[in-house]
Amino acid sequence: MGEVADVGQSGWVWGTIDEDRQEMWPVMMNWFDRVKMCIGWDSVDRERIVKLRRCMDSDLAKVIEDLGEQLTEFKDTQSLMSNERFARRLHDVLREWLSGLLDGAFDQEYVKGRSAFGRRLVEIDLTFEDIILLEELTRRRLCRFAEERLGEHSGVSTMHTLDKAFNLDLTIIYSAYLEVRDAEMERVLLDRFLTVTGFSRTLYENLAGARKWN
């Protein structure tokens, strides 16, 4: 996994990809293919994920409900589940979280979609701690489901595949989420600076632009 960490430090952040700069996608996907190679994702893992998803089709609503209850219990916000709008929004997020995780394609369209999902998590006010908690709750729930439905032997191999899928999925989601959150923090700090100093926003942006191109 050292190679993955080094690549991450080189500045390739999924959340910064501009959809209009299509020429960048081959470079980014080459990077992500290297991540998949380091993690060891292969066609067998893909087949296991597809099988797990088929097994979950009839239980997906129940799994989503369980995850929602556990998440609000850990955050001590169970009372919010009585709010229909909140509960529906949370369940929609959990459904998209699970559907993406269990897709297993890890191609360019997948990466675009999960990067956008990571940015939406910021928009619905989920903290980074919430995402880490959600990851752990989802991991436990799916591993338990795999063991119960697929048997001990198949369950163990599927859990190993799930670990790989989580690592790949979260590589994209975390990067996009953190990029948006950091950008928002920068905007807040800039607004505070301009308010305190009385500096012109237009002048500041022009100076920043000139420095970028020098």
pLDDT in tens, 4-61: 333 333 333 434 444 545 667 788 788 889 999 999 999 999 999 988 998 888 888 8
The reported pLDDT for the residue numbered 174 is 83
Asked if residue 63 lies in contact with residue 71, where contact means CB atoms within 8 angstroms, the answer is no
Per CATH, the homologous superfamily of domain 2-7+14-188 is Globins (1.10.490.10)
**Which residue from 168, 67, 163 is spatially nearest to 114, judged by alpha carbons?**
168
Question: What is the residue extent of each domain of the chain?
Answer: 2-7+14-188
10 Å Cβ neighbour count for 191? 11
pLDDT in tens, 53-73: 988 888 888 889 888 888 888
Between 13-27, 50-64, 87-101, 198-212, the lowest mean confidence (pLDDT) is in 13-27
Q: State the average pLDDT over residues 100-110.
A: 87
pTM value > 0.95: no
Separation CA 77–CA 102 (nearest Å):
28
